Homo-oligomer: A and B are copies of this chain.
């Protein structure tokens, strides 16, 4: 009984997506497969706890209280806090997009992103997700990730986003080896023809890779000069993480 109520409440919270952050109770009922009465009762209870909130027109959204509790996910917040001044420095010099991502559930989850107005196209967002084979961050995290995840991704499907996306297991395998060997990933047009991603690993005090720092810049000859900037900032974040203590991001 208890399990079922909690699972239903989680299903309701998960019905909200970055693209559809505001839903009616009927929409929640349809998306979760819960009866309207059940959905309505659970929405009322979640609203009473501040996990959901109602707009003036009675539509429902995620509540500020859930955000507040979520920020207590301590390794996430501590990684983000440690990375922020380095990211701001890179952003001042390089412009465009600077972001930090971690592996979560076999995908890249972006914890933070700084973007300049008028920057080159980028479809990532804070708390957004991408499959690991299409982005520079994903290649770095996969190259240093668990062997079983590598095998699962290599067994793939590896859907193409552009004609430059890595779509064969052989190329992905050799690219991951190259990323490990050279210390960064360089992805011209893999995700969007006009954009180029560069990512480098962030390590915690124990030496394990816990995150990837990446920049997205225009896909042209100027990008090569950004590589040492990204690598240097990623090293700086790693040293700052080591100085803060041994606890890594194990989630």
| Residue A76 interfacial (CB < 8 Å) | yes
B-contact bits for A51-94, CB 8 A (1 contact / 0 none)? 10101100001111111111111111100010011001001100
Across the interface, A64 reaches (CB within 8 A) one of B3, B69, B88, B102, namely: B102
A250 touches B127 (CB 8 A): no
Tally of contact residues, A, Cβ under 8 A:
60
| Residue A114 interfacial (CB < 8 Å) | yes
Across the interface, A76 reaches (CB within 8 A) one of B10, B22, B64, B72, namely: B64
The verdict on A127 contacting B251 (CB below 8 Å), with A5-B2, A10-B51, A66-B66 known, is no
A71 touches B76 (CB 8 A): no
A69 touches B7 (CB 8 A): no
A45 touches B3 (CB 8 A): yes
Across the interface, A71 reaches (CB within 8 A) one of B50, B77, B81, B127, namely: B127
B6 touches A69 (CB 8 A): no
Q: Which of A199-251 contact B (CB under 8 A)?
A: 247, 250-251
The verdict on A61 contacting B74 (CB below 8 Å), with A2-B41, A13-B69, A41-B2 known, is yes
Q: Which of A3, A55, A74 has the most CB of B within 10 A?
A: A74
* Complex interface: chain B residues within 8 A of A126 (CB): 71, 77, 81
A22 touches B74 (CB 8 A): yes
Docked complex Cα distance between A63 and B72 (Å): 9
Across the interface, A70 reaches (CB within 8 A) one of B49, B53, B69, B109, namely: B69
Docked complex Cα distance between A66 and B18 (Å): 14
Nearest CB on B from A29, distance (A): 16
B6 touches A127 (CB 8 A): no
Docked complex Cα distance between A2 and B43 (Å): 12
In the complex, which residue of chain B has the Cβ closest to the Cβ of A22?
B74
| Residue A117 interfacial (CB < 8 Å) | yes
Nearest CB on B from A217, distance (A): 18
| Residue A151 interfacial (CB < 8 Å) | no
In the complex, which residue of chain B has the Cβ closest to the Cβ of A51?
B10
| Residue A170 interfacial (CB < 8 Å) | no
7 more CB-based (< 8 A) A-B contacts, given A5-B6, A64-B104: A10-B49, A61-B73, A63-B73, A68-B104, A68-B127, A70-B71, A84-B114
Interchain residue pairs A-B with the least CB separation, the first 5: A70-B70, A21-B74, A67-B70, A71-B127, A67-B73
